[in-house]
Amino acid sequence: MNKNTRLAASVVLALAIGSSIYGLIITAKNNSYTAEIQALRNEKDAWFSTNPKSPFLLKNEPFHRISYYPPDRKYYIKASFTRNNRQDSVQLITNLGEAERYLVYGEAQFKLEGTTCTLQLLYLPESTDLFLPFMDATSGKTTYGSGRYLEVATPTEDEVILDFNLAYNPYCAYVDGYSCPFPPKANILKVAIEAGEKTYHE
Protein backbone atom coordinates (compact mmCIF):
# COMPACT_ATOMS: atom_id res chain seq x y z
CA MET A 1 0.00 0.00 0.00
CA ASN A 2 1.57 3.28 -1.09
CA LYS A 3 1.55 6.51 0.89
CA ASN A 4 -1.43 8.04 -0.94
CA THR A 5 -3.48 4.87 -0.53
CA ARG A 6 -2.72 4.74 3.20
CA LEU A 7 -3.64 8.42 3.54
CA ALA A 8 -6.93 7.92 1.72
CA ALA A 9 -7.73 4.89 3.88
CA SER A 10 -6.96 6.87 7.03
CA VAL A 11 -9.24 9.71 5.92
CA VAL A 12 -12.07 7.27 5.18
CA LEU A 13 -11.60 5.60 8.55
CA ALA A 14 -11.53 8.95 10.36
CA LEU A 15 -14.72 10.04 8.61
CA ALA A 16 -16.41 6.75 9.48
CA ILE A 17 -15.41 7.05 13.15
CA GLY A 18 -16.49 10.69 13.22
CA SER A 19 -19.82 9.83 11.66
CA SER A 20 -20.38 7.03 14.18
CA ILE A 21 -19.56 9.31 17.14
CA TYR A 22 -21.84 12.02 15.76
CA GLY A 23 -24.61 9.46 15.37
CA LEU A 24 -24.17 8.32 18.97
CA ILE A 25 -24.31 11.93 20.20
CA ILE A 26 -27.49 12.62 18.23
CA THR A 27 -29.06 9.40 19.51
CA ALA A 28 -28.14 10.30 23.10
CA LYS A 29 -29.59 13.79 22.69
CA ASN A 30 -32.81 12.42 21.20
CA ASN A 31 -33.12 9.83 23.98
CA SER A 32 -32.56 12.51 26.61
CA TYR A 33 -35.08 14.83 24.95
CA THR A 34 -37.67 12.05 24.71
CA ALA A 35 -37.18 11.17 28.38
CA GLU A 36 -37.58 14.83 29.35
CA ILE A 37 -40.84 15.18 27.41
CA GLN A 38 -42.17 11.93 28.86
CA ALA A 39 -41.32 13.07 32.39
CA LEU A 40 -43.28 16.29 31.85
CA ARG A 41 -46.24 14.30 30.57
CA ASN A 42 -46.16 12.00 33.60
CA GLU A 43 -46.08 15.04 35.90
CA LYS A 44 -49.08 16.51 34.11
CA ASP A 45 -51.07 13.29 34.45
CA ALA A 46 -50.23 13.20 38.16
CA TRP A 47 -51.28 16.84 38.58
CA PHE A 48 -54.60 16.30 36.78
CA SER A 49 -55.41 13.26 38.90
CA THR A 50 -54.41 14.57 42.35
CA ASN A 51 -54.18 18.38 42.49
CA PRO A 52 -57.21 20.15 44.02
CA LYS A 53 -57.00 22.77 41.22
CA SER A 54 -57.28 20.14 38.52
CA PRO A 55 -60.29 20.79 36.24
CA PHE A 56 -61.30 17.15 36.71
CA LEU A 57 -61.37 17.34 40.51
CA LEU A 58 -63.02 20.76 40.49
CA LYS A 59 -65.78 19.45 38.23
CA ASN A 60 -65.90 16.03 39.91
CA GLU A 61 -65.09 14.31 36.61
CA PRO A 62 -63.06 11.09 36.27
CA PHE A 63 -59.60 11.52 34.79
CA HIS A 64 -58.02 9.17 32.26
CA ARG A 65 -54.50 9.50 30.95
CA ILE A 66 -53.98 12.01 28.17
CA SER A 67 -53.16 10.72 24.69
CA TYR A 68 -50.09 12.17 22.98
CA TYR A 69 -48.11 11.94 19.79
CA PRO A 70 -44.68 10.40 20.39
CA PRO A 71 -42.02 13.09 21.03
CA ASP A 72 -40.46 14.15 17.74
CA ARG A 73 -37.49 16.54 17.41
CA LYS A 74 -38.88 17.58 14.02
CA TYR A 75 -41.39 19.70 15.90
CA TYR A 76 -38.81 21.40 18.10
CA ILE A 77 -38.55 24.39 15.82
CA LYS A 78 -36.18 27.35 15.84
CA ALA A 79 -38.29 30.02 14.16
CA SER A 80 -37.37 33.52 13.11
CA PHE A 81 -39.00 36.17 15.30
CA THR A 82 -40.20 39.68 14.46
CA ARG A 83 -41.26 41.94 17.31
CA ASN A 84 -44.47 43.94 16.85
CA ASN A 85 -43.73 47.55 17.76
CA ARG A 86 -47.15 48.90 16.80
CA GLN A 87 -49.05 47.58 19.83
CA ASP A 88 -51.49 45.75 17.56
CA SER A 89 -54.14 43.64 19.24
CA VAL A 90 -56.44 40.81 18.22
CA GLN A 91 -59.86 39.87 19.55
CA LEU A 92 -60.45 36.20 20.23
CA ILE A 93 -63.87 34.64 20.72
CA THR A 94 -64.22 31.91 23.32
CA ASN A 95 -66.25 28.71 23.23
CA LEU A 96 -68.76 30.46 25.53
CA GLY A 97 -69.22 33.34 23.09
CA GLU A 98 -67.18 35.82 25.11
CA ALA A 99 -64.68 38.19 23.52
CA GLU A 100 -61.14 38.59 24.83
CA ARG A 101 -58.54 41.00 23.47
CA TYR A 102 -54.82 40.21 23.36
CA LEU A 103 -51.79 42.27 22.38
CA VAL A 104 -49.78 40.82 19.49
CA TYR A 105 -46.23 40.63 20.84
CA GLY A 106 -44.71 39.49 17.56
CA GLU A 107 -44.63 36.88 14.83
CA ALA A 108 -42.77 33.61 14.43
CA GLN A 109 -41.99 32.26 10.97
CA PHE A 110 -40.64 28.86 9.97
CA LYS A 111 -40.84 26.24 7.24
CA LEU A 112 -42.45 22.84 7.75
CA GLU A 113 -42.88 20.26 5.00
CA GLY A 114 -41.87 22.94 2.48
CA THR A 115 -44.61 25.31 3.67
CA THR A 116 -43.85 28.71 5.17
CA CYS A 117 -45.79 29.13 8.42
CA THR A 118 -46.37 32.39 10.26
CA LEU A 119 -47.89 32.51 13.75
CA GLN A 120 -48.85 35.37 16.04
CA LEU A 121 -47.45 35.27 19.56
CA LEU A 122 -49.76 36.94 22.06
CA TYR A 123 -48.93 38.79 25.26
CA LEU A 124 -50.41 37.73 28.59
CA PRO A 125 -49.94 40.33 31.38
CA GLU A 126 -49.99 37.64 34.08
CA SER A 127 -47.35 35.44 32.45
CA THR A 128 -43.64 35.68 31.65
CA ASP A 129 -44.26 33.48 28.59
CA LEU A 130 -46.11 34.26 25.37
CA PHE A 131 -49.40 32.63 24.38
CA LEU A 132 -49.70 30.75 21.09
CA PRO A 133 -53.17 29.35 20.29
CA PHE A 134 -53.20 27.51 16.97
CA MET A 135 -55.05 25.11 14.71
CA ASP A 136 -53.56 22.85 12.07
CA ALA A 137 -54.46 20.05 9.66
CA THR A 138 -54.92 17.61 12.56
CA SER A 139 -57.59 19.76 14.27
CA GLY A 140 -60.91 17.94 14.43
CA LYS A 141 -59.24 14.68 13.37
CA THR A 142 -56.62 13.47 15.80
CA THR A 143 -56.47 16.65 17.90
CA TYR A 144 -59.04 18.90 19.56
CA GLY A 145 -61.20 20.56 16.92
CA SER A 146 -61.07 24.05 18.40
CA GLY A 147 -57.29 24.18 18.51
CA ARG A 148 -54.46 23.73 20.95
CA TYR A 149 -52.20 26.02 22.94
CA LEU A 150 -48.47 26.47 23.33
CA GLU A 151 -46.53 28.54 25.84
CA VAL A 152 -43.46 30.19 24.34
CA ALA A 153 -40.51 31.71 26.19
CA THR A 154 -40.29 35.41 25.37
CA PRO A 155 -37.43 35.84 22.88
CA THR A 156 -34.69 38.41 23.38
CA GLU A 157 -33.22 38.07 19.89
CA ASP A 158 -34.58 37.44 16.39
CA GLU A 159 -35.14 33.72 17.04
CA VAL A 160 -37.79 31.91 19.07
CA ILE A 161 -38.19 28.26 20.07
CA LEU A 162 -41.54 26.63 19.26
CA ASP A 163 -41.64 23.16 20.81
CA PHE A 164 -44.89 21.68 19.55
CA ASN A 165 -44.23 18.51 21.54
CA LEU A 166 -45.48 20.65 24.44
CA ALA A 167 -48.72 21.66 22.67
CA TYR A 168 -51.67 21.10 24.99
CA ASN A 169 -55.46 21.18 25.01
CA PRO A 170 -57.45 23.94 26.71
CA TYR A 171 -59.49 22.92 29.74
CA CYS A 172 -62.73 23.01 27.72
CA ALA A 173 -61.39 20.02 25.74
CA TYR A 174 -61.58 17.95 28.94
CA VAL A 175 -64.65 19.13 30.84
CA ASP A 176 -67.54 21.56 30.26
CA GLY A 177 -67.85 24.98 31.84
CA TYR A 178 -64.48 26.54 31.01
CA SER A 179 -64.00 29.56 28.77
CA CYS A 180 -61.30 28.96 26.15
CA PRO A 181 -60.36 31.37 23.35
CA PHE A 182 -60.26 30.08 19.79
CA PRO A 183 -57.08 30.74 17.79
CA PRO A 184 -57.01 33.83 15.55
CA LYS A 185 -57.33 33.28 11.79
CA ALA A 186 -53.63 34.11 11.43
CA ASN A 187 -52.79 31.03 13.50
CA ILE A 188 -54.67 28.44 11.45
CA LEU A 189 -52.03 26.35 9.71
CA LYS A 190 -52.52 24.23 6.59
CA VAL A 191 -49.80 21.79 7.64
CA ALA A 192 -50.21 19.01 10.18
CA ILE A 193 -48.54 19.44 13.56
CA GLU A 194 -48.36 15.80 14.63
CA ALA A 195 -46.95 16.59 18.05
CA GLY A 196 -48.20 17.24 21.55
CA GLU A 197 -51.63 16.32 22.92
CA LYS A 198 -54.23 14.47 20.91
CA THR A 199 -57.99 14.57 21.42
CA TYR A 200 -58.86 13.67 25.00
CA HIS A 201 -60.80 10.41 25.23
CA GLU A 202 -62.51 9.38 28.42
pTM of the model: 0.83
When divided into structural domains, the chain yields a total of 1
Residue 73 lies in a domain: yes
What pLDDT shows up at residue 125? 82
The domain in which residue 151 lies consists of 61-187
HEC letters along the chain: CCHHHHHHHHHHHHHHHHHHHHHHHHHHHHHHHHHHHHHHHHHHHHHHHHCCCCHHHHCCCCCCCCCECCCCHHHEEEEEEEECCCCCEEEEEECCCCEEEEEEEEEEEEEECCEEEEEEEEECCCCCEEEEEEECCCECCCECCCCEEEEEECCCCCEEEEEHHHCECCHHHCCCCCCCECCCHHHECCCCCCCCECCCCC
Residue 10 lies in a domain: no
What pLDDT shows up at residue 3? 52
Residue 106 lies in a domain: yes
Residue 80 lies in a domain: yes
What pLDDT shows up at residue 202? 53
Residue 119 lies in a domain: yes
pLDDT tens-digit readout, 116-151: 999 999 998 888 899 999 999 999 999 999 999 999
Residue 86 lies in a domain: yes
What pLDDT shows up at residue 13? 42
User: Which residues of the chain fall below pLDDT 50?
Assistant: 6-28
Residue 141 lies in a domain: yes
Residue 102 lies in a domain: yes
The sign of the dihedral angle between the CA atoms of 64, 70, 73, 75 is negative
